[in-house]
Amino acid sequence: MNRRRFSTLSGVLAAASCLGVTVKAHALSLNDVSNAQALQGLKLALEKGALAAVKSLGQANGFLGNDKVRIPLPGVLDDAARLLRNLGQGAPLDELIAAMNHAAEMAVPMARDMLVGVVKTMKVQDAKKILTGGDNSVTQFFAEKTRQDLSRKFLPLVTKVTSRVKLADKYNQIAAKTAGIGLLKGDQVSIEQYVTAKSLDGLYLMIGEEEKKIRQDPVGTGSAVLQKVFGALRP
């Protein structure tokens, strides 16, 4: 048997076992799926998932109207939000929340070509990692391949949008001081970095959610390859 094969998709079979999935006793089985079909099917699923996620998030209220990815105020500001609202400062907070989420919605479409490109150049080892990696393997794959480059791509647009809100500038001034004495670290050192990171978190999360839908209902995709590959993994 050719060792370059998944051992007649033994890698996929192992993945199915890891995911607690049993192969159908009748109709299609994993043995009927070739390595090329498995890789092609996964690429199709990821591309469809990426495009669907970009379309969903990159529209008006794509982030703001989605409880799974809506970007909240940064931790420090969020902690003080109740007091600020009681002091009549609710409007500036709401303006900042809206600006952060709208910035994310505007930035996400910029990821489309890069995400598709990464999928098209995906290797067999990438497919194995995704198939055996559990529920967050898709998120990990895209984050590993694109997060750094997309962060650089998103940041200027996010900065342009959030800079229109006065509270964002005030937050950055305070954050810079607290970061300087070690009280604030990571993405929360500026609104722009925080929103950029949250935008990508939301994007990767929704790609994973879309990919799960395809696994659960491959017939609904209208793709014969997806039906064959993921149909074989269904119980």
pLDDT digits (tens, 9 = 90+) for 166-214: 888 887 777 776 555 454 456 666 889 999 999 999 999 999 888 777 6
Alpha helices in 75-123 (DSSP H): 75-86, 90-107, 112-120
Mean pLDDT confidence for 11-28: 39
Give me 74's structure tokens: 């940064």
Q: At residue 26, does pLDDT exceed 50?
A: no
The amino acid that residue 139 corresponds to is T
Q: For the whole model, what pTM was predicted?
A: 0.76
For residue 64, how far is the Cα from the chain centroid? 16
Q: Which residues contact 33 (CB under 8 A, 6 or more apart)?
A: 9, 12, 41, 228, 229, 232
Q: At residue 1, does pLDDT exceed 50?
A: no
Direct distance between the N- and C-terminal alpha carbons of the chain, in angstroms, rounded to an integer: 27
Contact 29, 234 (CB under 8 A): no
Q: At residue 7, does pLDDT exceed 50?
A: no
Contact 107, 127 (CB under 8 A): no
In which residue are the tokens 């940064």 written?
74
| Confidence (pLDDT) at 65 | 96
- How would residue 59 be classed by pLDDT, with cut points 50, 70 and 90? very high
Rounded Cα–Cα distance for residues 28 and 153 (Å): 43
Share of the chain above pLDDT 90, in %: 37
**Among candidates 72, 71, 70, 74, which has minimal Cα distance to 178?**
74
Give me 215's structure tokens: 């696994």
| Confidence (pLDDT) at 178 | 58
